[in-house]
Amino acid sequence: MQKTVRRLCAATRERTALLALLPGAGRPLLAVLVAVRVLQALLPAATALVTARLLDAAATPGAGTAGAVLLVGAVLLLGQTCSVFQRPLVTLVRGRIDARHRADVMRLLTRTATLDVVESAEVQALVRAATADPREWIEKTPAEGALGQLSVLVRWVGLVSTAAVVAAWSWWLVPLLVVPAVVVRHLVRGQWVRHFRIWVDGLPENRRAHYWGELTSAPAEAKELRTFGLGAWVVDRRQRHLHAQLDDVWADDLRAAREKWWVLLAAVVPLGAAFVVAAVGTTRGHGTVGALAGLLAAGWGVFSAVTGTGDALMVEGARPVVRAAEALRARLTEPETETVPGAVREIETETRHVPGTATAPEPAAPHVRLEGVTFAYPGSSGPVLRGLDLEIRPGELLAVVGLNGAGKSTLTKVLAGLYEPSAGRVTADGVDVRAIGARAWRRRVTVVHQDFVRYQLSLEDNIALGQVGGDRPWPDPDAVRGAATDAGLGPVVDGLPAGWRTPLARSRTGGVDLSGGQWQQVALARALYATRAGARVLVLDEPTAHLDVRTEAELFRRLAGITQGVSTVLVSHRLSTVRLADRIVLLADGRIAESGTHDELMALGGSYAHMFALQAQRFARGYDDRLETGVLS
Ligand SMILES: Nc1ncnc2c1ncn2[C@@H]1O[C@H](COP(=O)(O)OP(=O)(O)OP(=O)(O)O)[C@@H](O)[C@H]1O
């Protein structure tokens, strides 16, 4: 009982939340839509009345029918006008509400300061449910639910008005029509609920089928499908998952078709009986033929108003979206530290400066320290970083090396404020970066991630995304060109059909795709653009993995000049490159195991020296031509 009450309360709250979305479409628009819907709901009763009047006028000798004909015409015209206007009104209302809802969800997601929230499986599932982008017939958007709920309410207008017409003939006909209508509604609704559940249960199979289906048309996967001859295997897998879901659905369709006889019986017998009673009554002198015709029309109106389940389905399909959006709001609403204590106000308010374009003083690179930093991924068995201490001195080039999985990328993300340490802290000039605020800190730190993003935008925009917002014009063409030149993109730009404006996506008109190495240079240029806009810590996570030897060597020869006044943290497996750094740290077991210059670490004879010797041997045996050609010595 308590459970039922709680379920009813939740349903009422969610339905109210759906209705509350409607004013978001704009009050005047909503008012017109409600007026149209109410008029439409009144039409069956109006039709019944004017039909009765016309028939009576026609049956009465000498009575004029012109007035009655005009009334019938007016009702028909009103009906047509309503249905003509209803469609665009609904489209507008739906578009506005859903666009606003999706933007709200996106805002919520992008506002979260750290990655762990977005990465969690729970949040991903909520996002999938709340984005309201229906991929199945059982899913409805919030606007569809809101409009459905409006129709459910307006349906009462139709029910009351048609019931009043019927009651005018004889009140006891009203329950005779309403009771079987309620039974039919119950039966039909039960079938839909069952069908709905079968679909929901089969959704995991459906998603697997979609996954394999999409592989057959995705350009990236098309390569492998052909290389390994996986085409038929993938199609077969998709079919198997689809059958695993749809066999149950189709069985239920058959069952529902068989049950339709009961529904038909429940509708036809009482409705037929009511109409027969009315017809017999008319032949015995109770009312006119016109009144009987009106009664039949209104009776059908009563029945339709009760049995229609389409709107209720819209509401049911949208309720999970509203629920997920509420849960997401509760989960993601985290206050971001925007208030900056006095000690670091300077960092927050510094004028961001593009060299050569403004006279503001250059902000200095901060002295960054990681103090006893411990970090574990949610749900993982142990921490990746364990009480790690590291200092990044202003303006230095610090290299971080370590085996695969040692935690180098994790370290870069903690440094950039994308993850918060579970213990310890990151400080800039002695101030905890949490006190500075994630947004303010990230304007000071820029990162080229290992898995950087290839935006489907022009080359210019791809670079200028390094720093958006602020009071400078965007994109800043001088800063874009300077950063591109520093990243070695000059020859690439010359070869692009529309130069800087060329879209870097083959799917776009006039677009091109770049090679892996060229994309890496674009990502580097993006980070260098950020340094031109004020970032003072540049983190490069494997920035040259796709670059050829010559481009990489050339880049590093210029790196010190390019990043003057900026602290650079370079994560790399290429130790021949790393040796050029001011300082090298080796990450092992979640801590800094070794630290020093290349010569100091070689003299130490530890893990770094061992790794370097191994790589040098491999290169000397021809795995890499850098040592032989003397590009890197
Ligand atoms: N988002 C994540 N969620 C859970 N575990 C993760 C996540 N990212 C990385 N890890 C785990 O953390 C550990 C360190 O990964 P990380 O990517 O930091 O290592 P790395 O030193 O950069 O490795 P590589 O040299 O291969 O790039 C690994 O065991 C990895 O499986």
CATH assignment of the domain containing 447: 3.40.50.300
Shared domain check, 242 and 252: yes
In one letter, which amino acid is 397? Answer: L
| Model confidence pLDDT, tens digit, residues 599-621 | 999 999 989 999 888 877 766 55
**Any domain includes 345:** no
This model of the complex carries an ipTM of 0.97
Average the pLDDT over 522-538 and give the result. 92
CA terminus-to-terminus distance, the chain: 80
- Tell which atom from ligand 1 comes closest to the C-alpha of 115: 1
CA of 590 to the centre of ligand 1 (A): 11
Spatial distance between the Cα atoms of 77 and 440, rounded to a whole number of angstroms: 62
Determine the pLDDT at residue 540.
92
Whose CA is closest to atom 27 on ligand 1?
404
Residue 85 Cβ inside 6 Å of ligand 1? The answer reads no
Query: In 284-337, where does DSSP find H-type helix?
Result: 289-307, 310-332
Query: Among 37, 55, 277, which residue's Cα sits nearest to residue 166?
Result: 277
| Model confidence pLDDT, tens digit, residues 593-604 | 999 999 999 999
- Tell which atom from ligand 1 comes closest to the C-alpha of 406: 21
Query: Among 453, 410, 459, which residue's Cα sits nearest to residue 591?
Result: 410
Per DSSP, 22 falls in state G
**Any domain includes 546:** yes
Number of domains in the chain: 3
Determine the pLDDT at residue 508.
81
Shared domain check, 588 and 574: yes
Shared domain check, 139 and 97: yes
**Any domain includes 143:** yes
Helices 173-201, 289-307: crossing angle, 10 deg rounding: 30
CB-based contact 225:216 (threshold 8 Å) = yes
SS3 336: coil
Shared domain check, 610 and 584: yes
Shared domain check, 520 and 389: yes
Shared domain check, 389 and 242: no
| Torsional sign, CA 217, 221, 224, 225 | negative
**Residues pairing with 541 in the sheet:** 571
Residue 590 Cβ inside 6 Å of ligand 1? The answer reads no
**Any domain includes 339:** no
Residues in the chain: 633
Shared domain check, 500 and 392: yes
Residue 324 Cβ inside 6 Å of ligand 1? The answer reads no
**Any domain includes 298:** no
CA of 12 to the centre of ligand 1 (A): 45
Shared domain check, 454 and 371: yes
Determine the pLDDT at residue 373.
95
Shared domain check, 220 and 99: no
CA of 523 to the centre of ligand 1 (A): 21
Domain containing residue 232: 171-285
**Any domain includes 329:** yes
Sheet arrangement for strand 567-571: 445-448, 537-541, 567-571, 397-401, 583-588, 591-596
Determine the pLDDT at residue 342.
39
| Model confidence pLDDT, tens digit, residues 201-229 | 998 899 899 999 988 888 778 877 887 88
| Model confidence pLDDT, tens digit, residues 111-137 | 887 888 888 888 888 888 888 677 777
Structure tokens at 513: 């795709």
| Model confidence pLDDT, tens digit, residues 351-363 | 343 444 444 445 6
Shared domain check, 120 and 228: no
CB-based contact 141:94 (threshold 8 Å) = yes
Beta carbons within 8 Å of 232's beta carbon, 6+ residues apart = none
Shared domain check, 157 and 183: no
**Any domain includes 351:** no
> How many angstroms separate the most distant Cα atoms in the chain?
122
**Any domain includes 347:** no
Average pLDDT of every residue of the chain: 85
Shared domain check, 210 and 132: no
Kindly list the distances between the CA atom of residue 504 and the CA atoms of 41, 211, 459, 620, in Å, as whole numbers in the listed order.
53, 26, 6, 38
